[in-house]
Structures are given as C-alpha cells and as structure tokens.
Amino acid sequence: MNVHLISGFIPASDQYKRQTMVQIGVIGTGSMGGMLVRTFIESRAAAPEEIIAYNRTTSRATALSRETGIRIGRDCQDVAREAGVVFLCVRPCEVKDVLRELGDALSSQILLISIAAEVPLADLHAWTDARVVRVIPTLTSEVLKGASLVAFGERATAADRDLVRTLLKAIGRAVEVEEEAFELLTLLTSCGPAFIAAMMKEFAAAAVRRGAVSPALADLLVTETLAGTAGLLEKEESSFDEVISRVATEGGITAKGVAVISEEGPRVFDAMIAAALGEEE
C-alpha cells in the first residue's frame, strides 16, 4: 500500500490559547468522545460553553457535564441544531442509524467529523448532506500528545480544513493522509498505545524473570525510559537509528541486545500487523 502524506505534521503548542469561536457538538461521550471534550477544554481549543454533547446513556453525559461544564443536548438533533461542527463518536455499526435519526437537522451547513474507523467517506456522503471529515484520534491526545489521522471529504471547504487542523493541533499532531491508508496507519496511531504498552510489559517481565527486580520497579524503570526516549526523539528530532547509535557502542551489551531485536523483530511485528489486519483469519 502506498501512503501519501498530504501536508505532513502540524506541531502542537504547549502555550496554545486560541478558542475556536464555533459551537462544537459531540454525539457519543464514551471513551473517545469524552476524551475529546476534556482535551479541547484543557488545551483551550474550546471553552466549556462552546461545547454541547449528547449520549444515549444520559448518566454518562451528565457526569461529563458536571466534570467539565459543557452543555447537554436533549437529543442528537438538539446537538446538530446548536453546533456548527459535530463530532460523531459512536460505534461504526451505529453511524448509519444515528445519521438517519439526525435527518434534516444535519444539513449542508454543518461540518460532520466522524471518528468511526470502519465507515468510509463515501458512505458518510451517501447518508448525510453535511460536509464530512474522517478523523482517527488516539488515546494519547489525553495528554496532548500523539497523531490524529485526517481525511477530508469532497464537500469540505478551505475553512473546514483550517478549523479541523486548529482543533487537532491543540491536542497533538494532525496528519493528513489518503483515506485508503487509514487501516494500516491506524495500527501506528490509534492502536499504537496498546501495542507499545504490551511490548514494554514484556520488556519489564523479562527482567523480572531474572529474579533480581520486582515487577513494580521494572515497570517504573521501563516507563521512565520510554518517556525519556520519546522526549529525545521529539525534542532533538532524532531518528530511531540515531538514538540507537548514541547508546549502542560496538561490541557492548546494548549492541548485542539490539542485534537480537533486529533479528527477531521483523517476524514478530509482521505477524502482529498481519493479525491486526485480519490477514490470518
């Protein structure tokens, strides 16, 4: 699969202060919907009074409102009527029914941003008159880090593109790619935190099996090392190879360990990606 990067990375700013000055609607306040609300407010991409949300489970939306100060809509149509941009944060199997329920409330005057991983732009265009964008967010945006994948629908305007970039760069990095690359790239972004955490869990466990370190200490050391390595890669714009070369001296213990990873890693990661893409089913 050829991946075409449209506009590259849009760096986040720790001092980001601008508010969107547009009403933001969020339909579905589960894990990702709730995370987006919290991070938009924390990063000051939007003020609480600029966000209105709805969730079928009323208690979840109410709890989020109490926590953040956002408004709660009576139903999803209420959200669409109040907002200029609507984030659709429901499960892929629910998207068509929710759009049908929204009906005329979701007009061409609305920008719809769907985070449903398995619903393509073509379907969204067929099911609504709204201008549409697909975004695959990542849980790491909870700490204002990580990359969100973006693909714009054909009806999206230049102003829509600017708005989406503005919102997403406030909570991490926005990376525009061709839609057909989403499935593979999602493994590196949205799925990535789980994969990386699983790898680090096994790294720490290998030390514990040697009997000289407790699980708590091993987890702490690996976590701190992971955070520091990410900081080096980001701050100094180093490549993976550059970081390896700075630590792994020829013939040393690090170089020996890296050699094992280089030998065994491709098989493991090729199998992981194949399994995640369903190629082994």
Q: Per residue in 215-270, pLDDT tens?
A: 999 999 999 999 999 999 988 778 999 999 999 999 999 999 999 999 999 999 99
Whole-number pLDDT of residue 281? 55
**Are 237 and 256 found together in one domain?**
yes
HEC letters along 244-279: HHHHCCCCCHHHHHHHHHHHHHHHHHHHHHHHHCCC
> pLDDT value at position 16?
37
Based on the domain organization, do 126 and 223 belong to the same domain? Answer: no
pLDDT for 7: 41
Higher per-residue pLDDT: 235 or 138: 138
Strand, helix or coil at 76? helix
* Residues 246 and 162 grouped into a single domain: no
* Span 186-216, pLDDT tens digits: 999 999 999 999 999 999 999 999 998 999 9
Q: Are 116 and 95 in contact (CB under 8 A)?
A: yes
Cβ proximity of 147 and 167 under 8 Å? no
Here the CATH number for the domain that contains residue 216 is 1.10.3730.10
For the cut 80, the answer to whether the pLDDT of residue 3 exceeds it is no
Taking the model in full, what pTM does it have? 0.87
Residue 228 forms part of a structural domain = yes
Domain membership of residue 1 (yes or no) is: no
Predicted pLDDT at 22? 86
pLDDT of 5 higher than 80: no
53 and 84, same domain (yes or no): yes
Same domain, 169 and 218: no
Q: Which 3 state secondary structure label does DSSP give 123?
A: helix
Binding site membership: which residues? 27-32
Domain boundary among 133, 151, 184: 184
Measured distance CA(101)–CA(175) in Å, rounded: 31
Task: Examine the domain organization and report whether 52 and 138 are in the same domain.
Answer: yes
**Residues 13-30: pLDDT tens digits?**
433 344 456 899 999 999
Query: 244 with 120, same domain?
Result: no
Tell me whether residue 105 is in a domain: yes
Residue 78 lies in a domain: yes
Mean pLDDT value of segment 107-129:
96
Whether residue 205 sits in one domain with residue 165: no
Q: Are the beta carbons of 113 and 87 closer than 8 angstroms? A: yes
**Domain final residue pick, 121, 154, 184:** 184
Q: Within this chain, do residues 33 and 169 fall inside the same structural domain, yes or no? A: yes
Contact 121, 151 (CB under 8 A): yes
Domain span including residue 256:
192-276
Worst-scoring range by mean pLDDT, 3-17, 50-64, 170-184, 213-227? Answer: 3-17
55-94 pLDDT, tens digit each:
999 999 999 999 999 999 999 999 999 999 999 999 999 9
Q: Which residues are annotated as a binding site for NADP(+)?
A: 27-32
Q: Which two tokens stand for residue 35?
A: 């995370």
Domain count, the chain: 2
Q: Are 96 and 212 within one domain? A: no
Domain annotation covers residue 11: no
